[in-house]
Structure 1
Amino acid sequence: MIALADLGSIRLSIDTTVEFEGGQPGPQAWHVSVEKHDDEDNPKLVFWMDGWTFRLYEGGDLGDELDALSADTEVFVPLVQGDEVSQLVSDELHFAPLGDRLVLINHVRLAPELRGRGGIGRYLTGLAIRELEGGAALVALHASPFELRQEFDEGSVPEDVWEAGAEALGPVWESVGFQRLDGHLYVLDPATTAMENAMTALQARICAG
């Protein structure tokens, strides 16, 4: 249950799936959800996030895996080189990744009635990342305004509208500790305190509201 004035009452659910081929595990697909219950305990989904977790340093080519998994994961190929984090990440952002997992966020969705209320969506995203980042070298996302597809016939968003929407999302993700790597690709180093500092400020703002 989520009470806006008391963030201690959030119930966050995580479902994960791993497919094995020849006894070897593939990437972990996951989705996170938060439900709000009314006075009669009827649930309503107010937050949803999905993505994947890949294992680093286990051989193989993660670039090929990302390219083959879906069109959504292809955008993350610059993050990897062989079975490890690419040199681009270290050179551009001066990261020194410590973990053995790569957490990739695909979609994040917040119920319309909770938007514009002090950063609730960002706070819930941060809570989810806390639960998913164990052992992670990096957490990454590609800023994509996918909900714009609902406003156009057959989901065909004009390129300039899509680009403007993606650009507008950048400061949102930077406000919770992500750094822009290339284009609309953003990366968070879990070893830093950037996200925790942002979460503390967000919680104070939401509770004050």
Structure 2
Amino acid sequence: MVGAQQNLQLANWAQKGDVLHEFMHALGFLHEHQREDRDLYVTCWSKDTANYVKKGMAIGRYDADSVMHYPDIRGDLNCHNLWAPRQCKRLSNGDKVGLNKLYPPVRQPRVYNPEKGYTDLYYCGRHNMENNNAPFGKISVDGYCGPNNGPNCPSCREYGGIQTWCNDEGSYATQGETGLFYCGRRFTARENERRYHDGFCGPNNGPHCDSCRRLLE
């Protein structure tokens, strides 16, 4: 919707995820499965033009983890080639990145006041990164954006710009949707991270190699 008051209608059975979903609509987001590139990831048979027709803008890659994605419903939507199971309980990293792209953060004393840390990235110090690798698990975060090192939050990434740096093995690494740096090279994951690992450093999420990890220390 554009302008005026945004009315949200919630059933008496609504949970946190339902509230987040409807707030995202009020902020201008359509369903993830309404993106123009959705045919690469889902097959849709529904005639419901309000909730299923292709018309949504694409911000970042197709986000299977988004709170805006409908479940795999026989007869309406069939999901294939997705990198994450559907969830409806929290904002995904992609949701957070999208929100910060549409509504860029502005420095405000005592509200949002990012500063450069040891890594040359901006950090706001807020407790907003409890799980930066969902649905893969909590990797390289303590729940806080900085204050001096480690991955930074989506707000600070948008504030300071997505960075691409050369790691100590000579490979160029770019920040993915988790805030970690990824070079895309094949590597063997550390023992406690192997169940989240596909054999490569990124390119967008999951564990990162030791060389990329050192960029955030």
TM-score between the two structures when normalised by the length of structure 2: 0.29
Which structure shows the bigger proportion of residues in helix conformation? 1
Larger radius of gyration: 2
Which structure shows the bigger proportion of residues in strand conformation? 1
Q: Say which structure, 1 or 2, has more relative contact order (CA 8 Å, 6+ apart).
A: 1
